[in-house]
Amino acid sequence: MAACLRIGRSLLIGAAVLAWLLLAYLTTAPGEPSTFGALVAVLPYMAIALAMAWRSRSRAPALALWAAVAAAIWWQWTRIEARFEWIYFIQHFGTFALLAVGFGRSLAPGGEALITRLSLLVHEAPLPAALVRYTRGVTLAWTLFFGTMCLSSALLFFLGYTQAWSLLVTLLTPALTVAMFAAEYRVRLAVLPAAIRPGLVATIRAVTRGHKARPETPDSCICPR
């Protein structure tokens, strides 16, 4: 019963996110001022921020900060209605720029690639040389992916290709990210021996729980081959 509730909740959250992305696309693609579009852009972020402020250990200061931001939004609402697409651009460009920099910096000479560090949550150190090479290559691939997304968003936005930019930042971004994960997993299956291959489920569990997890065997991995 609990599992069914978790699945149902996940499906509802997924449907809500998909609906929001679709609304974001429909309101930004025309490139025109819109009260409804501004509400779609602002309300989800403010709701999440309010929930975080309420759960914060410093609840009173956090709520006061949230109220100040809400007041500023109300004060500048006319401008936000006119250019609400900037909210999506800043969020999209900023997120992917930070990811590109974070992944890229870990590739500096003498450093440890970010995905290599994540593999240490699944495998005991020292990692096999083949796995170190592979995870470093995957870190580079994700760096290039994040950088391409960041650059594409900026070019489309500032060159005025509003519909293409809107499609990229709302509907294509999650689809391309999932496709990137799927492609990396297929490459992992092809180039890494099963004995050192980090299973997808074990990796996710290890990252989310923050402790060592046993590597999955080919029989135990529930992911499609």
Residue 69 counted as domain residue: no
Confidence of residue 202 (pLDDT cuts 50, 70, 90): low
Cis peptide before 126 (omega within 30 of 0): yes
| pLDDT, tens digit (0-9, with 9 covering 90-100), for 164-179 | 999 999 999 999 999 9
pLDDT at 6: 77
**E strands present in 159-210:** none
Predicted confidence (pLDDT) at residue 211 exceeds the cutoff of 80: no
Residue 48, CA distances (Å) to 42, 80, 83, 179 in order: 10, 19, 22, 27
pLDDT at 131: 86
Question: How many whole angstroms separate alpha carbon 59 and alpha carbon 9?
Answer: 27
| pLDDT, tens digit (0-9, with 9 covering 90-100), for 63-86 | 999 999 999 999 999 999 999 999
Residue 222 counted as domain residue: no
Residue 149 counted as domain residue: yes
Question: How many whole angstroms separate alpha carbon 125 and alpha carbon 109?
Answer: 20
Residue 171 counted as domain residue: yes
- Of the candidate ranges 63-67, 129-133, 159-163, the one whose mean pLDDT is the lowest: 129-133
| pLDDT, tens digit (0-9, with 9 covering 90-100), for 2-28 | 777 778 888 888 899 899 999 999 999
Residues spanned by the domain of 139: 2-33+83-209
Q: Are 220 and 199 in contact (CB under 8 A)?
A: yes
Average pLDDT over residues 196-223: 53
| pLDDT, tens digit (0-9, with 9 covering 90-100), for 41-54 | 999 999 999 999 99
Predicted confidence (pLDDT) at residue 214 exceeds the cutoff of 70: no
Residue 204 counted as domain residue: yes
Residue 70 counted as domain residue: no
Residue 92 counted as domain residue: yes
Residue 64 counted as domain residue: no
Average pLDDT over residues 135-161: 95
pLDDT at 224: 38
Average pLDDT over residues 109-121: 86
Confidence of residue 189 (pLDDT cuts 50, 70, 90): confident
- Of the candidate ranges 125-129, 158-162, 165-169, 196-200, the one whose mean pLDDT is the lowest: 196-200
Query: Per the structure, how many domains does the chain have?
Result: 1
Predicted confidence (pLDDT) at residue 212 exceeds the cutoff of 70: no
